[in-house]
Amino acid sequence: MTATAPLANPRDLALAHYAARGVLEQVLTGHGITFQESVTLRAAVTAGSEQTRDDLVATVQGSLKAEPAALRATVDALLAKELLAEDGGQVRPTDAGRALQQTLGAETAPVSARIWGGIPEEDLAAAGRVLALVTERANAELARLTA
């Protein structure tokens, strides 16, 4: 007799998220940066061009669902740490911000490989489909709740 895999549920999703985030936060703490700051910095680095503060806040809000005021404070913190710079209403990552983002990527890559390595491609594909659907539905519910 073969064991049947347990069905995924909301608690499983939350536990996986917080376990992975806990690992990431250990790396971030070593660099004096918070999770929200790291997401914001990454959004600035990967934007491809300068953007307004409001554009950066909107991008990060789409990912984190955080309050705009909290995200503006995060941008202020990154400016104070000189990881972002603002000029003429445009926000861009500094060389230090780009270097930190590159360092964080290099430090988390082997950890991510250990966590994700060896998972069969078909399982990753199934998980990807389920997570995309859950995200779509949760975003729709959030839109209804905040309308």
50 occurs within a structural domain = yes
* pLDDT at residue 119, rounded to an integer: 96
Q: Are strands 84-87 and 51-52 parallel, antiparallel or unpaired?
A: unpaired
36 occurs within a structural domain = yes
4 occurs within a structural domain = no
User: Residue 53 is part of which domain span?
Assistant: 27-108
16 occurs within a structural domain = no
pLDDT interval class at 3 (50, 70, 90):
low
Higher pLDDT, 147 or 27: 27
pLDDT in tens, 109-147: 999 999 999 999 999 999 999 999 999 999 999 999 988
Minimal CA–CA distance to 44: which of 8, 75, 72? 75
Q: What residue has token string 């360092």?
A: 103
146 occurs within a structural domain = no
Tell whether the model's pLDDT for residue 34 goes beyond 80.
yes
* pLDDT at residue 137, rounded to an integer: 96
72 occurs within a structural domain = yes
CATH number, domain with residue 53:
1.10.10.10
Q: Give me the chain's average pLDDT, please.
A: 94
pLDDT interval class at 52 (50, 70, 90):
very high
* pLDDT at residue 147, rounded to an integer: 85
**Domains identified in the chain, total number:** 1
| The two structure tokens encoding residue 11 | 């608690």
9 occurs within a structural domain = no
